[in-house]
Amino acid sequence: MIELHNITKIYPNNVTALKNISLSIEKGEFVFIIGSSGSGKSTLLKLLLKEIEPTEGEIIINDKNITHLKKKEIPFLRRKLGVVFQDFRLLPNKTVYENVAFAMQIVEATPKEIRRNVPMVLSMVGLAKKARCYPSQLSGGEQQRTALARAIVNNPPILICDEPTGNLDPLTSWEIMKLLKDINDRGTTVIIATHEKDIVDKMKKRVIEIKEGVLIRDLQKGGYSDED
């Protein structure tokens, strides 16, 4: 589903963020990408989302080489990728329902599809009763659930999460992780960049570790520390 072949990323300031990274992620996998700040985790996600271009190497998603996509093709790629950010990025002037519906409007879903899918997804993430609330009326966990609902409402085959529990308390973080596991159990490929040691250790999923831009560890059922 996702293949990186000899990916190197050097920024204009001559900082090398990734060095000759090669890896593959299969359909339906649950993968943690770990590493300290500045290790290259976010750069890797930005490459998958086509926010930046690799300096060297190739990226293939769903059998399509996205390395040299034309700008007009990028929106079609992103329609197949659900994205969850640490800072939620909700639209403050829209309700929970409207935030999630907006993701469907972007891909030109019909009003009937929106009326059917949005309540279903809000129910899945436990926000059915919060549909008319605005982001400012929600807790941090509820905002992240809204962001998660928005990311999955179009049923993307791949869900990419950048520090999805970074601003949440431990209990709420676990609730979000359980939701992500449920989504993965339904067949969605889930990729999570995180530094949350406890979560990674307890989940026992595949762990890819990057240090100073180099892939140093790839375990099918790993933990955060080298001892696992």
Would you state the pLDDT for residue 83? 93
**CATH number given to 1-80+157-228:** 3.40.50.300
178-182 average pLDDT score: 94
Q: Where are the domains of the chain?
A: 1-80+157-228, 90-155
Binning pLDDT at 50, 70 and 90, where does residue 200 land?
very high
Q: Mean pLDDT, the chain, as a whole number?
A: 92
Would you state the pLDDT for residue 110? 95
* Tokens of residue 79, six digits: 């329609």
Q: Kindly report, residue by residue over 128-161, the tens digit of the pLDDT.
A: 999 999 999 999 999 999 999 999 999 999 999 9
Check pLDDT > 80 for residue 191: yes
Secondary structure percentages of the chain, helix, strand, coil, to 5? 35, 25, 35
* Residue 74 burial (C-beta neighbours within 10 Å; 0-12, 13-18, 19+): middle
Would you state the pLDDT for residue 226? 54
Q: Kindly report, residue by residue over 70-110, the tens digit of the pLDDT.
A: 888 888 888 889 999 888 889 999 999 999 999 999 989 99
Would you state the pLDDT for residue 228? 40
Q: At what angle do helices 111-124 and 140-152 cross, to 10 degrees?
A: 140
Q: What percent of the chain has pLDDT over 90?
A: 78
Range from 113-117, 132-136, 188-192, 220-224 carrying the lowest mean pLDDT: 220-224
> From the centroid of its chain, how far is CA 19?
22
* Residue 58 burial (C-beta neighbours within 10 Å; 0-12, 13-18, 19+): middle
Contact yes or no for 10/16 (Cβ under 8 A):
yes
Say how far apart CA 113 and CA 41 lie, in whole Å: 35
Contact yes or no for 171/200 (Cβ under 8 A):
no
Give the single-character DSSP code of 46.
H
- Angle (CA) 23 154 94, round 5°: 120
Helix boundaries (H) for the chain: 41-48, 74-78, 96-106, 111-124, 140-152, 170-185, 197-203
Edge-to-edge strand ranges of the sheet holding 64-65: 16-25, 2-10, 56-61, 64-65
Q: Kindly report, residue by residue over 110-119, the tens digit of the pLDDT.
A: 999 999 999 9
CA torsion 97-100-102-104 (nearest 10°) is -120
- How many beta carbons lie within 10 A of that of residue 52, not counting itself? 14
Instruction: Provide the whole-model pTM.
Output: 0.92
Would you state the pLDDT for residue 43? 94
Check pLDDT > 80 for residue 227: no
- How many beta carbons lie within 10 A of that of residue 67, not counting itself? 17
